[in-house]
Amino acid sequence: MRATSTCRASVTLAGLLSALALLPRRTLPWWAAAASALFTTAVPAFAGMLLPIPAALAVAARGFVAYAGRRRAG
C-alpha cells in the first residue's frame, strides 16, 4: 500500500511541477499548484526505503521511450 502511495505521489508531484513551469507566474492557479506540490512532497519524504520504486519505474520508462524512438527512426 505504501509503495502504491509513493508511486502515485511521485507522479502527482511531477505533474504539479510541470504545472508550475507552464502556468503564468504568481497567478492564483500557480499558487495553488505550488501549495499542492509542497504538501505532496510529504508523502515521498516519509516513504523512506520505498522511494527507489518510483525512481526505478521512471528510469525504466525513460529507457523504453528512448528505445522505441530509436527503433522507429531506424
Q: How many domains does the chain have?
A: 1
Residue 74 has pLDDT above 70, yes or no: no
> How far is it, in rounded angstroms, from Cα 40 to Cα 13?
6
Question: Model's pTM, two decimal places?
Answer: 0.70
Model confidence pLDDT, tens digit, residues 7-42: 899 889 999 999 999 999 999 999 999 999 999 998
**Residue with more model confidence, 65 or 71:** 65
Give CA separation, 44 vs 20, 34, 38, in Å: 19, 16, 11
Domain that holds residue 23: 2-73
Residue 72 has pLDDT above 90, yes or no: no
